[in-house]
Amino acid sequence: MAYIRTKKISGNKYAYLVEIISTDKGPRQKVKQYLGRVHDFEKNKEISEINQGNTNKEILLNLIIPELEARGFKEKKNNLVYKNFIFNSEKITLSKKSKNKTNKEAVIGSEEGYLSTFTFQRILNFQKGKDFNKDAHQLAKYFLEAGLQINQELFVKFYQKL
């Protein structure tokens, strides 16, 4: 079972994907992947209504875009941009332009989770198994870890399209 953990190093928060491994001395956390530095933005406005979509990608984008716009992102050339943060809606990636003009993975702290490329792709690439209850619980957990508020009707529609 893997989950997202944050560490505070030199006053900055960093997000990691960790997995719990059982050893003779007890459970240990093993870092599976570095996700990026966590940036916290205050919500400037509330999200009013979420549009429905026809595909899972559209549904996910209709959840992500209002969340980012509430934090100050503006549309610019098919991307959402805020300061040096860029959300590419075609690839569903969130990155930060660094000083040497390269794009680095970015993580934005949300109320209950983290908006990042990893969390978005994990939802988009989710595969249904044979156990409905386990799958639904896992997918709901992924939405929460991504910091996306999804209503029951939209969740059922998303799950049925898998």
* Per-residue confidence (pLDDT) for residue 14, from 0 to 100: 95
In this structure, of 7-16, 31-40, 98-107, the range with the lowest mean pLDDT score is 98-107
At residue 76, does pLDDT exceed 80?
yes
- Other residues' Cβ atoms within 10 Å of the Cβ of residue 57: 14
In a domain, 13, yes or no: no
Give the mean model confidence (pLDDT) for residues 138-161.
93
* Per-residue confidence (pLDDT) for residue 98, from 0 to 100: 87
Helix axes 117-124, 56-69, angle to 10 degrees: 160
Give the mean model confidence (pLDDT) for residues 67-79.
92
In a domain, 22, yes or no: no
In a domain, 71, yes or no: yes
The dihedral built from the CA positions of residue 28, 32, 37 and 42, taken in this order, carries a sign that is negative
Confidence of residue 57 (pLDDT cuts 50, 70, 90): very high
* Per-residue confidence (pLDDT) for residue 1, from 0 to 100: 76
Kindly report the pTM of this predicted structure. 0.90
- Which of residues 46 and 97 earns the better pLDDT score? 97
C-alpha 85/C-alpha 72 separation (Å) is 11
At residue 48, does pLDDT exceed 80?
no
At residue 50, does pLDDT exceed 80?
no
Provide the residue type at 1 as one letter: M
State which of 17-31, 44-58, 104-118 shows the largest mean pLDDT. 17-31
Integer distance in angstroms from the first to the last C-alpha of the chain? Answer: 22
In a domain, 8, yes or no: no
* Per-residue confidence (pLDDT) for residue 109, from 0 to 100: 93
Q: What is the mean pLDDT of the chain?
A: 92
At residue 38, does pLDDT exceed 90?
yes
Number of structural domains (the chain) is 1
In a domain, 63, yes or no: yes
In a domain, 101, yes or no: yes
In a domain, 99, yes or no: yes
Q: Which domain holds residue 111?
A: 37-160
* Per-residue confidence (pLDDT) for residue 72, from 0 to 100: 92
In a domain, 15, yes or no: no
